[in-house]
Structures are given as C-alpha cells and as structure tokens.
Structure 1
Amino acid sequence: MAISKALLASLFLSLLLLEQVQSIQTDHVASNAISEAAYSYKKIDCGGKCSARCRLSSRPRLCKRACGTCCARCNCVPPGTSGNTQTCPCYANMTTHGNRRKCP
C-alpha cells in the first residue's frame, strides 16, 4: 500500500512538472512570435523611391536628400512626383524648424 501511494504521488508530481515545462515552452514560443512580428516589416529602398519622387524636381539633389531623411524615419515614400501624402501620414506631417513641410 505504501509503495502504491508513493508511486501515485510520484506520477502526480511528474505530470505537474511536465505541465509546467510545457507552459514555459509555450510562453517562450509566443514571445518569440510577438518579437518577430514586431520586426517583420521590411525596409523599403529609399534611394530608388526618392529618385522616382524627385526626378522632376528643380533641385533634385536637395529633394533626394530631404526625401531620404524622411524615408529613413518613416519607412514610406508617397507614390508619384508630388502630392499623394495621404498614403504616408508620417512623411506628410514632418516639418522643419520654420514649420514648413520637410518632405518633398
């Protein structure tokens, strides 16, 4: 009788330990999935996007430099050569010290 109680207690403790290990592994997998999702966005090609955006500018080097700064911060460049800022609010809302729009 004493052996069966010890065996039953051992079995119970083993199951409890197994459940704890499984819970820890599940939490670890979930936290990895969350951290991977946070960094899963891809950086866009700012050089190519800004070249396309600034190709008709009267000052293309200045335009590309400003666009590159905005693109690096926002990871977004609106399509076309001007306007379309509603597609990238971060890009559209960035201003200079004089409260003028920074991004071309």
Structure 2
Amino acid sequence: MATNKTALLLAVLCLFLVSEIGMLMVEAQVQRPGPPKAQCGSATDCGPKCASRCSKSWKPEMCLQTCTACCNTCEGCVPAGPTASKEVCPCYAKYKKGRCP
C-alpha cells in the first residue's frame, strides 16, 4: 500500500516537473529578441549611428573614421549596435575599399 502511494506521488511530481520545464521553454522563446535592424537613413546621420556601432571598440577613433566612410558610401546604412551582423546592410557588408567595423 505504501509503495503504491509513493509511486503515485513520484508520478505526480514528475508530471509537475515536466510541465514546469515546458512552461519555462515557452517563456524563453517568447522573450527572445529578434536580430537588430539596420539603421538606415540619410548620410548626415552617420555620426550617431557610428558612435553606437563603435561604442565597444578598442580603437574608437579608427572605428569611427572607417564607419563614417562606410556609412557615407552606403547612403546612411549602418548595422545597429556594436554587435549587429553586417548582413543587415548589404552595401556595408560588401564594401571593399576598407573593412567596415
């Protein structure tokens, strides 16, 4: 009799644990942010965009200089933030004259 109660209690606890894990996985998927969008606009906006792009650079002056050149060439398109993928701005990713940060 005690074994049946223990087995039933263990089964209920396992079901509770599985449902809790499932709910945590759903929450994690809902709260996951999407990839950053490109900051496109006019070439006159390159300063703030490149400041954001180069905010974590270990050589900020050089980063700002090359980013501004890339931004002007690419009509104001700069990947958002310091870690965004260059592929969000095709011109920025394909720029061959120098390496865009």
With the length of structure 1 as denominator, give the TM-score of the two structures.
Answer: 0.52
1:61-86 CA distance string (max 9 Å, x none): 00000000000010200012034212
| Alpha-carbon shift at residue 102 of structure 1 (Å) | 1.2
The structure whose Rg is larger is: 1
Equivalent residue, structure 1, for 2:27: none
Equivalent residue, structure 1, for 2:48: 48
> Structure 1 runs of 4+ off > 2 angstroms?
none
Q: Greater RCO between the two (CA within 8 Å, min separation 6)? A: 2
Gaps of 5+ in 1: 1-40
Count residues with an aligned counterpart: 60
Percent of paired sites with the same residue: 42
| Alpha-carbon shift at residue 42 of structure 1 (Å) | 4.8
With the length of structure 2 as denominator, give the TM-score of the two structures.
Answer: 0.53
Equivalent residue, structure 2, for 1:93: 94
Gaps of 5+ in 2: 1-39
| Whole-angstrom distance in 2 between the partners of 1:43 and 1:53 | 16
Output the aligned Cα RMSD.
1.9
